[in-house]
Amino acid sequence: MIHFLLLFSRQGKLRLQKWFTPLSELEKKKVIRDMTLMVLARPPRTSNFLQWRDLKIVYKRYASLYFCTGLEEKDNELLALEMIHRYVELLDKYFGNVCELDIIFNFEKAYFILDEFLMGGEILETSKFAVGGSVEEADTLQEVQEP
Amino acid sequence: MPAPIRLRELIRTIRTARTQAEEREMIQKECAAIRSSFREEDNTYRCRNVAKLLYMHMLGYPAHFGQLECLKLIASQKFTDKRIGYLGAMLLLDERQDVHLLMTNCIKNDLNHSTQYVQGLALCTLGCMGSSEMCRDLAGEVEKLLKTSNSYLRKKAALCAVHVIRKVPELMEMFLPATKNLLSEKNHGVLHTSVVLLTEMCERSPDMLAHFRKLVPQLVRILKNLIMSGYSPEHDVSGISDPFLQVRILRLLRILGKGDDDSSEAMNDILAQVATNTETSKNVGNAILYETVLTIMDIKSESGLRVLAINILGRFLLNNDKNIRYVALTSLLKTVQTDHNAVQRHRSTIVDCLKDLDVSIKRRAMELSFALVNGNNIRGMMKELLYFLDSCDPEFKADCASGVFLAAEKYAPSKRWHIDTIMRVLTTAGSYVRDDSVPNLIQLITNSVEMHAYTVQRLYKALLDDISQQPLVQVASWCIGEYGDLLISGQCEEEEPIQVTEDEVLDVLEGLLVSNLSSPVTRGYSLTAIMKLSTRFSSVNRIKKVVSIYGSSIDVELQQRAVEYNALFKKYDHMRPALLERMPIMEKTASNGPTEIVQTNGEAEPSVVEPKHPPPVGQPASQGNDLLDLLGGNDVPVIPTTMPTKPASAGGELLDLLGDLSLGLSLMAFYLFDLFKTVNFLSIGIPPMTAYNKNGLKIDFTFERANPNPNVAVITIHASNSTEADMTDFVFQAAVPKTFQLQLLSPSSNVVPALNQGTVTQVIRVLNQQKQPLRMRIKLTYIHKGSAVQDLAEVNNFPSQSWQ
């Protein structure tokens, strides 16, 4: 099970935070601080895996954004990289050539897409089209209700 | 009131702020506006305001005043409101908040909503952060949705059920009927989440595990279809069909096949197929192979399959991709216990990984290397590991040094090699070694009699180079003190003997005393070493001068030693040679090597399991050494031992030591001698006496003569404690003059209860064949109110009846 998924910029500004375990605000802030410090300090050409407390941390950089997730002992790190990549692809499909600004200005959409892809720390849907399809239909529902 | 600004607008505005202060000001202004808008119960713009609040929350600003507003949004009929409301709930309203439970009713209603996207929102929120109470209340609804034919809802219900089970494991039974047909679904989303649900249930309950074993053939079939099926655009990742589902199925198979022959048999073929046919050029293929290997190693697979798995890991190790190498090392660490020989074949690749630039890889490689060390490869492995120790980061050095010591102790091919290895560690990573390596090394050196000259020479040379690493300096000074005569005599078989004079050696030792780099402990070592050389060197006057200078040292420890040594020179010169004699060979009682050197945060078991014995405070088996401490300071290492199992033999060991160092010990026991006065006595019994009474601890001696031997006095000590705290780990030790023999039997306990609630008794038998006046020196150690207390005392006031 994934414990959290964080997106942050190279300057350490948080762009998205998804938590799958109950933590206090203080604890969340600590995790965010630790992750940004650890991941941003990594030299290039090192592996994408770290050990932190009892979690395996898997991170990947896409342009100016770092995607950082915390896994449990029994989870597959290599698959986690694929999972991160799938989320990026989903964002890319939805926004069309997604960049950091899209996620900044449409953060709520990024969350909606994430919620159709992951739930409770596990992958919900493995089909590339189904996730995008659901989000678009929900968007339509929103527009239909609002004149 | 003008309409609140739109979300986009706010984000744009905040991003124009050039300083933190400016941003804070904007945020505060906007928050104030939002707060008044909330107060006005404005339905139209509530959604917009909460969205803005969520943005500001992401920047790190407090947003708790929006919690109730999220609830209102969730309760609204508009889908837009619900969407933002549930998002806000997930970000602001976790189970630690008071208002969390207020969501329950809304979620319940939404779970039964006519629109599947509303139901989806409710399921998602419940499944991500529902509390146990909420899960209990709503489990029934979730179970209902698990049986629906709508695959969009079914997959969400499955993961929601997983969350419910995690929060409230007792509810697991409830979902059992609904799992009946889960695997017959065609929809991959439902299949995937079903496999996750089944995995969760099997992991938590052995009964469920047994029940679901029958699904193995079906799972194997699904996996086979995935591999054999043609290209499916929606599930394809680099030519592999739905790797996420494949990995989850492999993981479930692992759990089902573990420990079960039939299931393992049934999955053998498919595992072999996946292992051989998966494309390895991309990460996704390797992810599947990784999971396959883990499964093969865990179930009861046939040996051919296991070898296949290890070979895959071996190939991983040679992969250019660092992630793959990391994962390979991690898996090999897990399998090294069970398939040691197979992993040994990849030893050279693993050792190469020590040179990798990546810190995570280096650490894994180090742990694995230590796990692979054995009697055959010790020389080669140690060379690599020592090289690694030289060049690695400080964070590794302590663990690596401990590992080297342990491996050397277990597999050293020769004593010289062992000493050389330890010397190498001390010189390269000397400041990072554990404290107990100093006494261990000293013991090792003492016991390698033929290596003394070589050892002291090498240590001396090392000291000339560098005196900053305390463990090295301590061992070196101890050795020079012991074997200084060998050093200056210029004899050495193992290597070219060096020519060094007494003055040069004393210069070095005195240099340690004055150097800022030396710790107080080190200074103690070197002063004692200088003292010991007074019987081995001829420049006694110089040594006398040094010792007397430190008699007025500010460091109390140093001062005490110097004063005692001075006394030795002045009044007890005749005792000096015996006291400062060479140390005898010390018995090795228990290996006290470091233990968790290959702990990797719970992943692998320690490769060498040596039970860790904390150096106890004064154990009977080490009594001899402690009493030697009484003689001359703490330069004698306390050999850590096992917990006292036979204190009855303590007397025996004491006797042995009395035999070896009889003169010194006995004379020291006398050194505050008073003339013994004879006392008239009544022939009825021997009166008891108080031997010691200090700091609340009182020790009384009671006497009786043993039958049939009238020369044996049986003394029972009674220790009582008048303070308000217990004295724990209480140990009583005694030494008597040479003409006596003493036997100490087991104590009744080692806790002296507070406030005189009880006493600890112990029997001492003293054989006094020569009818000499009885004297005794006692040492008491105990823990009182959290701190260790140690005290020495003379007992001279024995009633004459006890020894006549």
Please state whether the peptide bond connecting residue B394 to the residue before it is cis, i.e. omega within 30 degrees of 0.
no
Mean pLDDT to the nearest integer, B488-509 = 83
Task: With a cut of 80, say whether residue B600 has pLDDT above it.
Answer: no
Alpha-carbon distance A99 to nearest alpha carbon in chain B (angstroms): 16
CA–CA separation, B717 and B699 (whole Å): 6
Residues B109, B107: Cα–Cα separation, whole Å: 5
pLDDT over threshold 80, residue B205: yes
Model confidence at B706, pLDDT cuts 50, 70, 90, reads low
Q: What is the pLDDT of residue B624?
A: 39
Tell whether B92 is within 8 A of chain A (Cβ).
no
In the prediction, which pLDDT does B666 show?
A: 39
Q: What range defines the domain where residue A81 resides? A: 2-145
pLDDT digits (tens, 9 = 90+) for B712-737: 788 888 888 888 888 888 888 888 88
Q: What CATH number is given to the structural domain containing A11? A: 3.30.450.60
Q: What is the pLDDT of residue A105?
A: 95
How far apart are alpha carbons B479 and B504 in whole angstroms? 15
Which of A18, A21, A36, A76 to mutate against chain B (most B CBs within 10 Å)?
A: A76
pLDDT (tens digit per residue) in B460-486: 888 888 888 888 889 899 999 988 888
Query: Min CA distance, B437 vs chain A (Å)?
Result: 28
Average of per-residue pLDDT across B754-771: 83
Average pLDDT over residues B425-442: 82
Residue B673 predicted with pLDDT over 60: no
B326 closest CB neighbour out of A17, A47, A119: A47
How close does chain B come to A98, measured CA to CA in Å? 17
Contacts 24+ apart (CB under 8 A), B199-207: B199/B248, B199/B251, B199/B252, B199/B255, B200/B162, B200/B165, B200/B166, B201/B165, B201/B172, B201/B175, B201/B176, B202/B252, B202/B255, B202/B256, B203/B255, B204/B165, B204/B169, B204/B172, B205/B172
Res. B649 pLDDT band, cuts 50 70 90 = very low
Packed helices B188-204 and B243-257: angle between N→C axes, nearest 10 degrees: 30
Q: Which residues, listed in sequence order, are joined to residue A50 by a DSSP beta bridge?
A: A57
Collect the ranges in chain A with pLDDT lower than 70.
Answer: 146-147
Asked if the Cβ–Cβ distance from A119 to B326 is below 8 Å, we say no
Give me the total of CB pairs closer than 8 Å, taking one residue from chain A and one from chain B: 165
Query: Which of B79, B237, B290 is the closest to A78 by Cβ?
Result: B290
Evaluate if residue B380 carries a pLDDT over 60.
yes
Q: Mark yes or no for CB contact A124/B193 under 8 Å.
A: yes
Residue B204 has pLDDT above 60, yes or no: yes
How deeply is B77 buried, as exposed, middle or buried, from its count of CB atoms within 10 A (0-12, 13-18, 19+)?
A: exposed
Mean pLDDT of B334-349: 85
Query: CB contact, 8 Å: A20 with chain B?
Result: yes
pLDDT at residue B111, as a whole number: 95
Mean pLDDT for all residues in chain B? 82
pLDDT at B412 over 60: yes
pLDDT class for B664, splitting at 50, 70, 90?
Answer: very low
Identify the DSSP state of B16: H
pLDDT at B712: 79
Q: State the average pLDDT over residues B156-160.
A: 97
- Contact residues on chain B for A15, CB-CB shorter than 8 A: 58
- pLDDT-derived band at B440 (thresholds 50, 70, 90) equals confident
Residue B589 has what pLDDT?
Answer: 55
Give the mean pLDDT of B553-558.
87
pLDDT of res. A71: 96
Per-residue confidence at B17, pLDDT binned at 50, 70, 90? very high
Nearest Cβ partner of A141 from B79, B127, B601? B79
Higher pLDDT, residue B637 or B757: B757
What pLDDT is stored for residue B804 in this prediction? 64
Residues of A in contact with B117 (CB under 8 A): 134, 137-138, 141
Residue window 222-241, chain B: list those with CB within 8 Å of chain A. Answer: 233-235, 237
- Taking only residues 111 to 130 of chain B, the set having a beta carbon closer than 8 angstroms to any beta carbon of chain A reads 115, 117, 120, 123-124, 127-129
- For chain B positions 45-64, those within 8 Å of chain A (CB to CB) are 51, 54-55, 58-60
Q: Tell whether B3 is within 8 A of chain A (Cβ).
A: no
Say how far apart CA B124 and CA B113 lie, in whole Å.
14
Interface touch A126/B189, C-beta < 8 Å: yes
- Note whether B323 contacts A81, CB cutoff 8 Å: yes
Measure in Å the smallest separation between the Cα of A106 and chain B Cα atoms.
Answer: 8
Q: What are the extents of the domains in chain B?
A: 435-580, 689-802
pLDDT for B497 equals 79
Per-residue tokens: B696: 């609340």
Q: Give the pLDDT confidence score for residue B584 in this predicted structure.
A: 79
pLDDT exceeds cutoff 50 at B349: yes
What residue in B sits closest to A52 (Cα-Cα)?
Answer: B601
pLDDT at B707: 57
Q: Considering its fold, how many domains does chain A have in total? A: 1
Say what the pLDDT of residue B662 is: 38
pLDDT tens, residue by residue, B50-79: 999 999 999 999 998 999 999 999 999 999
Is the CB of B601 less than 8 angstroms away from the CB of A76?
Answer: no
Pick the closest to residue B800 from B643, B683, B655, B666 (CA basis).
B683
pLDDT tops 50 at residue B184: yes
Q: Which amino acid is located at B446 in the chain?
A: T
Contact criterion met (CB < 8 Å) for B234 and A128? yes
Given 3.30.70.3400, 2.60.40.1230, 3.30.43.10, 3.40.50.2300, which CATH number is that of B689-802?
A: 2.60.40.1230
According to the model, what pLDDT value does residue B767 have?
Answer: 82
Greatest mean pLDDT among B262-266, B503-507, B706-710 lies in B262-266
Highest mean pLDDT range out of B3-12, B196-205, B542-551?
Answer: B196-205
At residue B448, what are phi and psi to the nearest 5 degrees?
A: -95, 75
pLDDT score of B46: 93
pLDDT tens sequence across B499-515: 888 888 888 888 888 88
Which of A108, A122, A130 is the closest to B51 by Cβ?
Answer: A108
Across B333-357, average pLDDT? 86
Task: Give the best-scoring range by mean pLDDT among B159-168, B642-651, B736-745, B746-755.
Answer: B159-168
Contact B127 A138 (CB under 8 A): no
